């Protein structure tokens, strides 16, 4: 094991498509695991066509979620392919990750029960839509459906008569992939002592409920149904974006001390001493009245000017940047999150952690459809898939 490949020697078979399972596989590949991505030969992963934008005729959505993997195709209508897949799992896999529609793998006896009977040390990971039990367990699901079903969209956006708003990134899908990795890493650690694998299960719905931890706790305690607050949140004020003369600046006065610093910086010292605003619970109760006064004070300043004033005062703040601004920002360059794969110029984001100062990163690009089928065919002839 090395700093940039702590999972070297672990083999993962990914029976996944779209985002959740591929993102779990991506994390493992970045950490040094060998990840074999299994696709349908008739088009492959749906994400290959999720564009534009495309890069070399493949959607960037697919490329950024599948770099560092080997790619094979399995035709489930062919018994030889199914048998070869089973041989790969039983013979070489430490981990299987799957997010296929319920019932597909059962048709071919590719189940955790069957495979773990042959290989007890196998770690099997299911990523479902709504979980294995309950009235919604057989429904298909995608990220925006889970955002809707778990209440995330009810606390996102502006509320009132405004249209519903979803979080603009695949928060649920990618979160489900992360939970899967957490579970399987714990199981890999446990397996060292027990020599037994595990059956890990998560779902988009459960991930959404996890992200709703704070609103759900508030409801259970008070019966209050939280409403959306735009860029703000229900529990802390002021903690949102404010419009300046030339753009928007996010201000996060997350405690009473920061609120006092904000007031001094804006020349609003009287607000900090006002009992209606002196504590966060008071500010939450009097939210609209306070926000109007802060908004009036910042409207005359520029984003840069206000940011400098708040930086000097020690008040956390950030301009609202667009994707192009983020991509070329000096901080993005400094942390080294964007880098190309070998033999490619397309910069893609890495995983957001370093080990002893080294960011684990796979070196190879995403596989072409069936790119490693020659190795796959060799394995069907009882030769090693190396």
What residues are annotated to the active site? Answer: 173
Q: How far is the C-alpha of 156 from the C-alpha of 167, rounded, in Å?
A: 7
Contact 180, 95 (CB under 8 A): no
Provide the H-helix boundaries in 11-111: 20-30, 60-66, 79-92
Contact by Cβ (8 Å): 2, 356: no
DSSP per position, 139-198: S---HHHHHHHTTGGGGSS--TTSPP---SS-HHHHHHHHHHHHHHHHHHHHHHHH---E
Residue 259, class by beta-carbon neighbours within 10 Å (0-12 exposed, 13-18 middle, 19+ buried)?
buried
The conformation of residue 48, written as its DSSP 8-state character, comes to G
What is the C-alpha to C-alpha distance for residues 144 and 334, in angstroms, rounded to an integer?
Answer: 33
Task: Look at residue 234 and give its three-state secondary structure.
Answer: coil
Rounded distance between C-alpha atoms, residue 167 and residue 148, angstroms: 10
As a whole number of angstroms, the distance between CA 97 and CA 198 comes to 12
Our CA dihedral for 192, 194, 197, 201, rounded to 10 degrees, sits at -100
Residue 114's alpha-carbon distances to 90, 109, 126, 236, 245, in angstroms, are: 10, 7, 15, 51, 64
Handedness of CA 200, 375, 73, 171 (dihedral sign): positive
């Amino acid at each position: 094991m090395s700093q940039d490949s702590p999972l070297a020697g672990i083999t993962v078979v990914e029976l996944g498509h779209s985002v959740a399972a591929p993102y779990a596989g991506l994390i493992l590949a970045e950490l040094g695991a060998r990840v074999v991505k299994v696709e349908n030969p008739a088009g492959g992963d749906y994400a290959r066509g999720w564009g534009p934008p495309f890069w070399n005729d493949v959607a960037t959505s697919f490329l950024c979620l599948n770099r560092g993997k080997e790619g094979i195709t399995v035709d489930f209508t062919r018994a030889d392919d199914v048998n070869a897949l089973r041989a790969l799992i039983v013979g070489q896999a430490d981990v299987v990750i799957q997010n296929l529609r319920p019932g597909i793998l059962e048709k071919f006896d590719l189940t955790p029960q069957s495979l773990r009977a042959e290989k007890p040390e196998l770690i099997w990971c299911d990523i479902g839509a709504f979980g294995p039990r309950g009235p919604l367990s057989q429904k298909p699901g995608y990220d925006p459906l889970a955002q809707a079903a778990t209440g995330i969209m009810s606390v996102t956006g502006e509320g009132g008569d405004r249209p519903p708003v979803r979080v603009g990134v695949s928060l649920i899908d990618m979160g489900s992939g992360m939970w899967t990795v957490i579970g399987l890493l714990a199981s890999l650690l446990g397996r060292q002592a027990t020599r037994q694998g595990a059956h890990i299960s998560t779902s988009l719905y459960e991930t959404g409920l996890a992200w709703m931890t704070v609103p759900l706790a508030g409801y259970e305690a008070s019966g209050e149904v939280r409403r959306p607050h735009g860029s703000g949140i229900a529990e802390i004020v002021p903690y949102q974006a404010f419009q300046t003369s030339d753009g928007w600046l996010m201000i996060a006065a997350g405690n009473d001390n920061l609120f006092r610093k904000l007031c001094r910086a804006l020349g609003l010292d009287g607000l900090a001493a006002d009992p209606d605003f002196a504590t966060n619970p008071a500010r939450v109760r009097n939210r609209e009245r306070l926000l109007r006064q802060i908004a009036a004070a910042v409207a005359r300043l520029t984003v840069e000017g206000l940011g400098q004033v708040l930086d000097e005062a020690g008040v956390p703040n950030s301009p609202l940047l667009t994707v192009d601004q983020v991509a070329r920002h000096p901080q993005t360059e400094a942390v080294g999150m964007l880098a190309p794969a070998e033999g490619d110029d397309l910069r893609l984001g890495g995983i957001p952690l370093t080990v002893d100062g080294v960011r684990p990163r796979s070196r190879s690009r995403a596989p072409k459809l069936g790119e490693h089928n020659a190795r796959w065919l060799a394995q069907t002839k009882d030769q090693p898939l190396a």
